[in-house]
Chain A
Amino acid sequence: MSVSTLATEALAVFAKEVRSELRSRVAINAIGLFGLTTLVAVAYQIGPYQIHEQDRPHLLAALLWIIVFFAALSGLQRVFVKEEDAHTAKTLRLAARPLAVWGGKLLFNVVLLAALEALLVPLYSVLMGMHVVGVAPLVVLLAAGCLAMASTATIVAAIIARASGSGTLFAILAVPLMLPLLVMLIAGTRMAMTSPRWGDLLPALQGVGALAGVTVVASVYLFPVIWHD
C-alpha cells in the first residue's frame, strides 16, 4: 500500500467531511455555540474582577479548558455517528481503506478543534482578562492539546458509533481517557500565564505530546478492528 495513495484517500475523506459539514453545519453549530454560550455564562458570572490576583492562573486555566473540553465533547463524536445514522458507513467501508477513513476523520476533528481554540482562546483572554506571558509555548501547547484531544475523541467516536451511537456513552468513554490530558493542559496553561520560559512548560508539553503520540499509534492499530467489527 503506497503512503501517497493512502494520504490521497484520507484527504478525499476529509474533503467529504468538510462538504457534508458545510451542508448541515451540525458539528460547527454544536461546538461553536456550546463554547460561546459557556464562555458568556462564565464571563458574566465570574468575569475578570471576581477572582483574586493570586488565584487567577489556577482558575482561568481550569475554566478555559473546561469550556474547550465540553464544547469539543458536544461535536467531535459526530464524525462516525452520522455515518451510522445516515446508513453510509457500509459505502464508506467499500470506498476507502480503514486507515484513510480514520486519517480523514481525525484531520476533520483536528481542524474543527483548532478553529474552536482559535476563536475561543483570544475571546476568553479578552473577556476574562487572561494575561499570557509565554504566548509561543501556549500556542504549541494548544496545538499538541488539539491533536491529543481530537485523536482520543475520534477513536472513541468510532467505538460508540459501532456500539450504540449514543452521545451519553461517548462522554462516559471519553472523559476518563481525556482527564489526564486535561490535567496536563491546565498545568501547562497556568505556567504560560506565569512564566515566559519554555523550560517551565516542558513537563506539560512533553506529557501532552507523548499522550497525543501514543493515542495516534494505538488508533492506527485499533481502528481497522473497530471499523470492520
Chain B
Amino acid sequence: MTDKATAGIWHWLLGAWMLLVIYGAFFYAPTAQGFVGESARIVFFHVPQAWVSVLAFCVNLWASLRYLARRDPLDDARAAAAARLGLLFCTLATVTGSLFAKVMWGEFWNWDPRQISIVILLLVYAAYFALREAIADEERRGGLAAAYATLAFVTMPFLVFVVPRIYFSLHPDTLINVRGSIDMEPRMLRVLLASLVGFTGIFVWLYTLEVKLARVLIARQRRGES
C-alpha cells in the first residue's frame, strides 16, 4: 500500500473518530452536576484545544532546539508550523472558554487567572511571529526565533501552574486536580479522553501537511539557488 493510500485511510479514520466524539459529547456523556444547563459539555472541546495549544508549544520547543543544534531550515519550518497551529488552537480555547464563562458566570471575560494565562500564551505566540516578521535573513531569523521560543517555554510553567495557584480562580478543577486524582463521571471521562486523542490527531495531520509543504518550498528554493 502506498503512503498516500495509508494517509487517506488515517484521515477517514480520524474523521469517523471525531464524529463519534461529537456524538458522545452530546448524547453519550451525562449532564454534569453543578453547572448551568448543558454548559459543561463544552469541556469535551475546550480542554482538548487547550491541550493541543500546549502540545504545539512543546513541539515548537523541540524543533527550535533541533534548529539550534543542526541549523536545518526544515527544523525552523517545523517550529513555525507548530507555533501557527498553537496560535490557532489557543484562539479556539480562548473563544470556547469565554462562551463557557458567559453561560456560567454571566460575562465573557472575568479576568480569571486561567483566562489570563491563556491570553499570555496567545501573546507569546503573537510575539514569536512578530519577531520572525522583523528579520529578513533566514538563518538569523531561525536562530533568534528558536532562542525566543526556548525562553518563552521556560516561563510557560509559571503561567500554567504557579499563577493560577497564587490567585483565587473561578475555573473548575483541571482534569487531574491538586489532589492528584481525576474526579469525573466515567462516561464523561471516556468522551474527554477520546476527544483528546481526536484533537491530537487533527494537530498531527495539520502539522504533517505544513511540514510537507515546507519541505517542498525548501527543495524548490535550493534548486533555484543551485
Q: Which residues of A contact B (CB under 8 A)?
A: 152, 155-156, 159, 162-164, 166, 169, 172-173, 175-177, 179-181, 183-184, 187, 203-204, 207, 210-211, 214-215, 217-219, 221-222, 225-226, 229
Residue among B123, B146, B148 making CB contact with A179, cutoff 8 Å: B123
Question: Which residues from 79 to 125 on chain B have a C-beta closer than 8 Å to any C-beta of chain A?
Answer: 113, 116-117, 120, 123-124
Known: A159-B131, A163-B135, A177-B151. A229 touches B144 (CB 8 A): yes
Closest 6 CB pairs of A and B: A176-B123, A229-B143, A180-B158, A176-B124, A164-B134, A214-B154
Measured CA separation A82–B58 after assembly (Å): 34
Contacts of A175 in B (CB 8 A): 123, 127
Say yes or no for B167: interface residue by CB 8 A criterion: yes
Taking each of A169, A179, A215, which has the highest tally of chain B beta carbons within 10 Å of its own beta carbon?
A: A179
| Pairwise interchain contact B120-A159, C-beta atoms closer than 8 A | no
| Pairwise interchain contact A187-B134, C-beta atoms closer than 8 A | no
Contacts of B139 in A (CB 8 A): 229
| Pairwise interchain contact B135-A164, C-beta atoms closer than 8 A | yes
Known: A175-B123, A225-B68. A169 touches B131 (CB 8 A): yes
Question: Which residues from 124 to 142 on chain B have a C-beta closer than 8 Å to any C-beta of chain A?
Answer: 124, 126-127, 130-131, 134-135, 139-140
Question: Would you call the interface of chain B mostly helix, strand, loop, or mixed?
Answer: helix
Say yes or no for B147: interface residue by CB 8 A criterion: yes
Contacts of B163 in A (CB 8 A): 180, 183-184, 207
| Pairwise interchain contact A163-B155, C-beta atoms closer than 8 A | no
Residue on A nearest B167 in the bound complex, by CB: A187
Say yes or no for B152: interface residue by CB 8 A criterion: yes
Say yes or no for B159: interface residue by CB 8 A criterion: yes
- What 0/1 pattern do residues 202 to 225 of B give for CB contact below 8 A with A? 000000000000000000000000
Taking each of A164, A177, A181, which has the highest tally of chain B beta carbons within 10 Å of its own beta carbon?
A: A177
| Pairwise interchain contact A183-B130, C-beta atoms closer than 8 A | no
Contacts of B68 in A (CB 8 A): 225
Measured CA separation A162–B152 after assembly (Å): 18
Measured CA separation A162–B135 after assembly (Å): 9
| Pairwise interchain contact A222-B166, C-beta atoms closer than 8 A | no
Question: Would you call the interface of chain A mostly helix, strand, loop, or mixed?
Answer: helix
Say yes or no for B150: interface residue by CB 8 A criterion: yes
Contacts of B148 in A (CB 8 A): 156, 159, 173
What is the distance, in angstroms, from B70's C-beta to the closest C-beta of chain A?
Answer: 13
| Pairwise interchain contact B131-A211, C-beta atoms closer than 8 A | no
What is the distance, in angstroms, from A186's C-beta to the closest C-beta of chain B?
Answer: 10
Say yes or no for B165: interface residue by CB 8 A criterion: yes
Residue among A162, A172, A180, A219 making CB contact with B144, cutoff 8 Å: A162
Known: A179-B120, A179-B123, A183-B167. A225 touches B151 (CB 8 A): no
Residue on B nearest A218 in the bound complex, by CB: B154
Say yes or no for B162: interface residue by CB 8 A criterion: yes
Q: List 18 A-B contacts (CB under 8 A).
A: A152-B151, A159-B148, A163-B135, A164-B134, A166-B134, A172-B127, A179-B120, A183-B116, A184-B162, A184-B163, A203-B162, A215-B151, A215-B154, A217-B154, A222-B150, A229-B143, A229-B144, A229-B147
Residue on A nearest B69 in the bound complex, by CB: A225
Known: A207-B158, A225-B143. A176 touches B166 (CB 8 A): no
